[in-house]
A and B are shown apart, each in its own frame.
Chain A
Amino acid sequence: SQTIHQWPATLVQPVGSPLSLECTVEGTSNPNLYWYRQAAGRGLQLLFYSVGIGQISSEVPQNLSASRPQDRQFILSSKKLLLSDSGFYLCAWSHGGPGETQYFGPGTRLLVL
């Protein structure tokens, strides 16, 4: 069966510091990968998605970037965090193809002070 991991679970960082959040998927190959952000009490907003190694598409211009160095690894980064980067970050994966269900990781709670 497939499993998706995210770490860290919680992170408190000062403004201006760098960020690296990691997501890995087990039990499948060549998944589509996604990064979402959820503000408090709100729905999810898609930030980045990837259909293959080294292929990254951005949905929203922002202070963040993503990379996919391996087939089942997806990394969310920032060089300098802003207060507005605080939120709950969720990674998801799906098989390729239309209508495939996205399965979510446990999420990372980021607080920028």
Chain B
Amino acid sequence: AQTVTQSQPEMSVQEAETVTLSCTYDTSENNYYLFWYKQPPSRQMILVIRQEAYKQQNATENRFSVNFQKAAKSFSLKISDSQLGDTAMYFCAFTQIIQGAQKLVFGQGTRLTINP
């Protein structure tokens, strides 16, 4: 079965600190894509960062970066200089190709709180 595991249900850090959210996944595919989505209290899902599995270089988006370890099937998210607006649920996901469409397989999420 294709699964995503986020082992940290909740995390809390002080503003301006750096925080790393963990994610591991299990897939038999060789070519796939990985994502981190953020869900603030409004509950809208917002893309944070995307990584192609065939690329060794880790993706970065401003204060957000990933540590992608393909052999270990690990895809952690690092948030630098955390801000109050980063408070949200964070979901790790990877794509499974199904009949021309893409199924996103999600983890259970990590609730991140940034304290002032």
Contacts and interface: CB of A to CB of B under 8 A. Distances in A.
Contacts of B52: 99
Interface residues of A, number: 31
A98 B103 contact: no
Contact of B31 (A36, A42, A92, A98): A98
Looking at chain B, what size class is its interface with the partner chain? 20 to 34
Interface in B71-105: 91, 95, 97-104
Contacts, number: 69
A101 B52 CA distance: 11
A38 to B, nearest CB: 8
Nearest to A88: B43
Interface string B37-50: 10000111111001
Given A44-B91, A104-B37, 11 more contacts: A34-B104, A42-B109, A44-B106, A51-B99, A88-B43, A90-B45, A92-B45, A96-B100, A98-B33, A103-B47, A107-B44
Interface of A: 32, 34, 36, 38, 41-46, 49-51, 57, 59, 88, 90, 92, 94, 96, 98-107, 109
